[in-house]
Amino acid sequence: AQSVTQPDIHITVSEGASLELRCNYSYGATPYLFWYVQSPGQGLQLLLKYFSGDTLVQGIKGFEAEFKRSQSSFNLRKPSVHWSDAAEYFCAVGTSGYALNFGKGTSLLVTP
């Protein structure tokens, strides 16, 4: 069955520390991959996407993600977290269709 898994429900990091949020997917073919961020009361904002080509993609706000086909993963990283990065992060997968399948999200808390 097709699925998107974000293993970490909550993550806490100190401001200035590095961040990695995990995403694993299970699909028959290479999917299109996305990371969205959702702040309280806000809509989902696209951070970055992978369609093809270079497996390391750069996004907004200093985020990057690496597609690893062998591990079926698309982990999100940021070298130095800012307090304003505290939010809910969603990994999403699109296939040959049009709808996105979202993971359940990872809630990021940033401590001083």
The closest of 38, 23, 44 to 85, measured between CA atoms, is: 38
Can residue 40 be called a binding residue for other proteins (CB under 8 A)? no
Minimum distance from CB of 21 to other proteins (Å)? 13
Considering only residues 14 to 33 of the shown chain, the ones binding other proteins according to CB under 8 A are: 31-32
Between 9 and 70, whose beta carbon lies closer to other proteins?
A: 9
Q: Candidates 51, 55, 60, 82: give the one binding other proteins (CB under 8 A).
A: 51
Q: Which residue has the tokens 């200093």?
A: 62
The Cα–Cα gap between 49 and 10 comes to 22
Can residue 75 be called a binding residue for other proteins (CB under 8 A)? no
Can residue 59 be called a binding residue for other proteins (CB under 8 A)? no
Between 75 and 102, whose beta carbon lies closer to other proteins?
A: 102
The Cα–Cα gap between 7 and 16 comes to 23
The closest of 33, 25, 35 to 71, measured between CA atoms, is: 25
Minimum distance from CB of 104 to other proteins (Å)? 5
How far is CA 107 from each of CA 7, 22, 52, 90, 97, rounded to the nearest angstrom? 11, 12, 28, 9, 28
Residues in contact with other proteins by CB under 8 A are 4, 31-32, 34, 36, 41-46, 49, 51, 90, 92, 94-105
